[in-house]
Structures are given as C-alpha cells and as structure tokens.
Amino acid sequence: MSWAAEPVRVQVPATSANLGPGFDALGLALSLHDEVEARILPAGVSIEITGEGADLAGAGEEHLVLRAMRETFALTGGQPAGLGLRCLNRIPHGRGLGSSAAAIVAGILAAQALAGPEKALPGAELLALASRIEGHPDNVAACLGGGLTIAWLTPDGPRMIGLEPLPSVTPVICVAPDPVRTDLVRGLLPDQVRHRDAAANAGRSALLIAALTQPGSGREVLLEATRDWLHQDYRAEAMPETAALVGRLRAAGIPAVVSGAGPSVLALLSGPDKPDYRYHLDSLGSIVRETGIAWHVSSLDVERQGARVLLPEPLSG
C-alpha cells in the first residue's frame, strides 16, 4: 500500500455537548482548536506534544490520536511501518470541552489523509468509527460537522444532522481549574428518571433548537430552553462549584449550562451587536470573580466548518 510522502495536518475544534437538556444528543463546535501533524516513518512511533497533555508524549500506541489512526488504517487496508505525530493541543483536558473527541477525529482524518483520498471512509462510517472509539456520538458529531449538531443512535449505527446557529449566538466558556473524570460523573446518573422530567427535557430540547436557530427568540427564551432535569442535578455532588456557578449565572438571567460532563460551564450570550451583550458579559465576569475560584473565561465563536485537513505547512506552535 502506498502512503502520502509528505506530512499531513489536521485541525479539530473543541465542542460542548448536551447544552443543558440535549443530553447525549446536542453538540456545539467552538473556535478553540487542536492541530495534529502526522507523517509516515520507516519504523517505530514518535510523538511530540505542545500544550495540554504534554505528559502523554510517551504513551506510544496508547495515545488516543494514534489509537484512532490505527483503527482507521485497519479499515482502509493496511498499517504503515512507522508513524510520527506532532500535536499542538489548546483544548483543555478533562474539562467537558471534547478533548477526547477532538483527538479521535484528528486521528481518523490524519490516517485517511495519509492513506489517500481513494481510501476515505463514507460519512456514516466515519461517524460510526469515531463514535465507537469515543463511546457516544454527540461530541464527535459536532467536531466533524461544526456548528450545531443533533446526533442519535439507530440499529444501523449513529446518525447526525447539522444546523446553522444564529450569528448572534456567542459561546462563553468558564473553564474549571481542575479536571473531572467523565466516567465518574456519568456513573452518578440514575438508571431511571421520572416521566415528567423526561417530558420536560424533551420539550426544552425542542425549544433550544428553535432558540439557537430562529431569529427573534431572545435571551429569555434561551434561558428557558437551557433548563435541564436529566443530568446536571445528579452530577452536582461531584462538582459543587460548577453547579453553584451555573445556578448563580442563571439567577442573573444568563443562559448557562454544564459543558458536556463538566466541570466547565458554558454560557450562551447574544452577540456583540446586541445592546445587552456587554452588560451580561460584565455580569458574568463579576459573578465568576465573586466565586473566588480561578475559572478561565473565554468568549469564543461557533466553529461552523468543523474538523478539516489543512495545507501541509508547519504547525503554528
């Protein structure tokens, strides 16, 4: 099998899943990116990491990007003798911002690029592979597709659809100072929930899609649309500071949710062209400072393009 002679580069966005009521279904791509450069080597494995997860440079075949590449190569017909990776990681690890989904998608796209366009997986197979490695499709769907995505499971595998969020939607991320294990907080969820809670979440999820995509909905509707009964309260004991911040922001009229499995917090503000944007951004900053916790606040954009292979230029960092 022939391989690309030159290194390939992939850029993948951070993502925030759930968005409140859309548990394991909704995802939003964010303008914070990891980059991976991959190349074929005569033998062995070489991994260089800058930024988040630098301590994983010696993980070898257990590194998540490399694992995703190996699984992709297995589907495309062969394994190269050696692989070299350079990773520039900006997405915080263990904070509910889709770092594992980004690594998986980066590995899959890099492997496809090295194998050549004739070996590219169809979209449904690509989503299925990424979801199988990740364990669920919400983050990988948003990472692949960009924008706002809805993911669901069928007997034939995961499916996704992409939607275009309003240009006025501005995600603001409050990144927690310490990580939390996704398996730990997922283990706090009950096997059963009350029917009225499930019904309420279904209604708010539908409202959230309208609030994020239909002009004229307004911040008040978005605040109502991000109410959740299925997962956030159950996880609060594992991250009380996160639950407290979400509660205080929402009490101030700011649509805020736990980002993914946490512990970071996502707020959805109306964009800078709206008259109340600066007021609510300043209010958010004041509330965060009053917690006395070193949250890192970043106002981002929605990443509308999703993961992509870049021109073969050197990494920027």
**Secondary structure percentages of the chain, helix, strand, coil, to 5:** 40, 25, 35
Q: Is the pLDDT of residue 314 over 60?
A: no
Residue 40 lies in a domain: yes
Greatest mean pLDDT among 130-144, 172-186, 265-279 lies in 130-144
CA pair distance 101, 150, nearest whole angstrom: 15
More confident residue, 220 or 151: 151
- Say what the pLDDT of residue 317 is: 54
Residue 105 has which token pair? 């998608």
Query: Do both 146 and 175 map to the same domain?
Result: no
**Do 294 and 270 fall into the same domain?**
yes
> Tens of pLDDT along 243-270?
999 999 999 999 999 999 999 999 999 8
Neighbour-count burial for 195-234, b at 16+ CB within 10 Å, e otherwise: eeeeebbeebbebbbebbeeeebebebbbbbbbbbbbbee
Beta-sheet pairing, 82-89 with 44-51: parallel
Answer yes or no: do 146 and 187 share one domain: no
pTM > 0.85? yes
Rg (CA), the chain: 20
Average pLDDT, stretch 127-141?
96
Do 137 and 16 share a structural domain? yes
Q: Which domain holds residue 288?
A: 169-299
Q: Give the span between the Cα atoms of 75 and 72, in whole angstroms.
A: 5
**For position 221, what pLDDT does the model report?**
93
Question: Is residue 271's pLDDT more than 80?
Answer: no
pLDDT band at 47 (very low <50, low <70, confident <90, very high): very high
Residue 39 has a CB neighbour count (10 Å cut-off) of: 21
Residue 144, classed as helix, strand or coil, is helix
Summarised one tens digit per residue, pLDDT across range 165-201 is 999 999 999 999 998 877 777 788 889 999 999 999 9
d(CA 28, CA 128): 19
Give the CATH number of the domain where residue 280 resides.
3.30.70.890
pLDDT at residue 121 is higher than 90: no
Question: What value does the mean pLDDT take over residues 108-118?
Answer: 91
Statement to judge: residues 12 and 153 lie in one domain: yes
Same domain, 158 and 35: yes
Total residue count of the chain as it appears in this document: 317
Give the mean model confidence (pLDDT) for residues 15-38: 97
